[in-house]
A = this chain, B = another copy of it.
Amino acid sequence: MTGRLELPDFKLETYFSTWEFTARHHLTASDAESMTVAELLALGTDEDHEAYENLHLGYTPTWGTEPLRAAIAGSYESLTSSKVLGFAGAGEALFWAMQLFVEPGEHVIVNVPNYQSI
């Protein structure tokens, strides 16, 4: 790297870049077992499929689409969509949560091993 910004390695990402798709058995995954597009679509109703096919592949509002925010809010008992903010991945959300909720010198308890970006 010839630039001036010398960021430390994101060690978890470096580790995964080597082993995630080469190890015979992967016992370190933090995500649930996923599925294929076909398997996911098979879970939907005809109405879901129609909404999916008509989905416009353009930019969305900064804070996420209204249907997404409403769906997330609906999974809580007392939350409205106006209180839901979408992020581009967990890392971005963790970054801002730490910036907003934690002051320098405060004590933070986290599980280890954990997702390194926190």
Contacts and interface: CB of A to CB of B under 8 A. Distances in A.
A98 B16 CA distance: 26
Interface in A20-70: 20-21, 31, 34-38, 40-41, 52-59, 61-63
B31 A54 contact: no
Interface residues of A, number: 38
A20 B59 CA distance: 9
A117 to B, nearest CB: 13
A50 to B, nearest CB: 9
A113 interface: no
Nearest to A62: B17
A61 to B, nearest CB: 6
